[in-house]
Chain A
Amino acid sequence: MTSTSMSEMRPSRIAEFFGAFRIATPVVVASAPFGLLFGALAVQNGLSVGEAILMSATVFAGASQMVGLELFNQTVPAWLVVLSIFAVNFRHVLYSAAIGRNTRHWTPFQRAFGFFFLTDIQYAEGEKQAETPRGLSFVWYMGMATFIYVAWVAEAAIGSIFGNLISDSYALGLDFMLPIYFLGMVMDFRRRPLWLPVVLVSSAASIAAYYWVGSPWHVSIGAVAGITLAVIVGPVQTQEGRS
Chain B
Amino acid sequence: MSSTVWIILAGALATYLTRIGGHLVLSRFERLHPRVEAGLNAVPAAVLTTLVAPAATTGGPAEWAALAVAGLVALRGNLMTMFLTGAAVLIVLRNLL
Tell me whether chain A's interface is mostly helix, strand or loop, or mixed. helix
Take A47-B4, A179-B56, A194-B41 as given contacts and tell me if A184 and B83 are in contact as well, using a CB distance cutoff of 8 Å: yes
A229 touches B34 (CB 8 A): no
Q: Decide if A59 is an interface residue (CB 8 Å cutoff).
A: yes
A223 touches B66 (CB 8 A): no
Chain A interface size range: 35 or more
Q: Decide if A118 is an interface residue (CB 8 Å cutoff).
A: yes
Take A94-B26, A186-B45, A238-B38 as given contacts and tell me if A81 and B50 are in contact as well, using a CB distance cutoff of 8 Å: no
B7 touches A178 (CB 8 A): no
- Tally of contact residues, B, Cβ under 8 A: 69
A180–B82 Cα distance when bound, in Å, is: 8
A173–B14 Cα distance when bound, in Å, is: 30
Take A96-B23, A180-B83, A184-B74 as given contacts and tell me if A63 and B48 are in contact as well, using a CB distance cutoff of 8 Å: yes
A-B pairs with beta carbons under 8 Å apart, 8 shown: A111-B23, A173-B91, A173-B94, A183-B74, A192-B41, A194-B41, A219-B47, A222-B50
A180 touches B87 (CB 8 A): yes
Q: Decide if A165 is an interface residue (CB 8 Å cutoff).
A: no
Q: Decide if A202 is an interface residue (CB 8 Å cutoff).
A: yes
**A203-221 interface bits toward B, Cβ cutoff 8 Å, 1 = contact, 0 = none:** 1111101110001001101
A153–B62 Cα distance when bound, in Å, is: 32
B19 touches A95 (CB 8 A): yes
B22 touches A235 (CB 8 A): no
A55–B37 Cα distance when bound, in Å, is: 31
B27 touches A230 (CB 8 A): no
When distances are taken between beta carbons in the complex, the residues of chain B under 8 Å from A72 are 4, 7
Closest approach, in angstroms, between the C-beta of A173 and any C-beta of chain B?
4
Q: Decide if B11 is an interface residue (CB 8 Å cutoff).
A: yes
A111–B16 Cα distance when bound, in Å, is: 12
When distances are taken between beta carbons in the complex, the residues of chain A under 8 Å from B47 are 87-88, 90, 202, 219, 223
